[in-house]
Chain A
Amino acid sequence: MTIRVITEADLQCFIDHSLAPEKKTEVENYLHGDLSAAQRVGAYERQAEALRRTLGPVGTEDVPASLNTALHSAGYQLPRQTALVLGVVAGIFIGALAGWSSRALLEAGTSVQSPGHLQQPIGWSSR
C-alpha cells in the first residue's frame, strides 16, 4: 500500500469540507498520527465555528431601511428612462438636422429639375 503525501492544501480543503470521501479518510488517518497537525486543524475549525457564531446572526437581521430604500430607488428603471429620453432628444436633433440640410438640396433640386424634366422626354423619344 502506498501512502500518499498530505499537503497543507489538503488540510485546508479538509477544514472547508471540500475533499472527496476517500481523500477525507486519508487526511483523518494522517491527523490521528500527527498530534500537532491535528491540534492546528482543530484550532482552525474552532475559529471558523466562532466566526460563524459571531457573524451568522447578521444574516437573519432585518435589513436597515436606508439600504432597502437605496436598493429600490436604485432600480433598473432609472437608466432605462434616461436612455429613452436621450434617444428621443437625439432623434429630434437628427431629424431637425436632416431636414435643415436637405432643405437647401430641395430648393436647388427644384430649380435644376425643371430643365431636366424637359430633357427626359426628349431623350426618351429619341431612343
Chain B
Amino acid sequence: MKNFSAAVLPHLPSLRRFARGHCQDVDAADVLVLTTLKKLRARWLWMAHSNVRLSALRLMCGLVDGQASPTPTADHSENYGQKFIGPAIALSKLAPVQRSSILLTSVERLPHREAAQVLDISEGELLRLLPQAREQLRLIVEAPFRQTLIKGPYLRRVK
C-alpha cells in the first residue's frame, strides 16, 4: 500500500491548476483542493490500483458540479463596457461540466478516454459535449467584438 502523501504530492500542482480553472479566487481554489484531498484520503484504502490523478480530478469534478452555477460577478465586465474578456472569466460563465471538459482536454491535456473517465461519461458523450463547450466559450470571448461590429455600420448609416 502506497503512502498517501507521497502518492498525491506529484499531482498537487496539476490539481491546483484544475481548481484555479474553476475558481479564480486563489483561496477558494485551494479549499477545493483541500476538500478533494480529504475525500480522496477517506477512499484511499479501497483504491489501491486506480490512477491517483484521475481519481482526484474525478472527485473534484463531483465537488464542482455540486456548487452553485456560474459566479454572478462575471457580468459586471460586460455592463461596464470592458472590451476584453479574459479566458478565465469567460470560462467561469460556462456550466461546470463544460468548464471541466475544456480544462481537462486543453489545459490538463488528458487523452479523450481519460477525460471522459474523469467526467464519468462515455468518450462519445465527451465528443458531443466538447464542441458545445468550446463554441460557447468562443461566443463569450468574441461577444464584445461582435457588438462593436454590429454597432459600426449602424452608426455610419445614421450619420
Q: Are A51 and B102 in contact (CB under 8 A)?
A: yes
Closest 5 CB pairs of A and B: A48-B106, A9-B127, A50-B87, A59-B13, A58-B17
Bound CA span A54–B21, Å: 9
Question: Across the interface, which residues of B come within 8 angstroms of A13, CB to CB?
Answer: 112, 127
CB of A65, distance to nearest CB on chain B (Å): 11
Bound CA span A15–B16, Å: 24
A23 touches B (CB below 8 Å):
no
CB of B20, distance to nearest CB on chain A (Å): 5
Q: Give the contacts of B13-44 with A (CB-CB under 8 A).
A: 13-14, 16-17, 20-21, 30, 33-34, 37-38, 41, 44
Seen from chain B, the residues whose Cβ lies within 8 Å of a Cβ on chain A are 1-5, 8-9, 12-14, 16-17, 20-21, 30, 33-34, 37-38, 41, 44-45, 86-88, 91, 102-103, 105-107, 109, 111-112, 127, 130-131, 134-135, 137-138, 141-142
Q: Are A55 and B138 in contact (CB under 8 A)?
A: no
CB of A19, distance to nearest CB on chain B (Å): 11
A57-80 to B contact mask, C-beta < 8 Å, 1/0? 011110110110011101110010
Interface SS of B by simple majority? helix
| A-B contact sample (4 more), CB < 8 A, given A47-B141, A71-B9, A76-B4 | A43-B138, A50-B86, A51-B107, A79-B45
Known pairs A52-B106, A74-B5; A66 contacts B112 (CB<8 A): no
Q: Are A55 and B21 in contact (CB under 8 A)?
A: yes
Q: Are B111 and A71 in contact (CB under 8 A)?
A: no
- B5, B13, B87, B131: the one contacting A51 at CB < 8 Å is B87
Q: Are B13 and A67 in contact (CB under 8 A)?
A: no
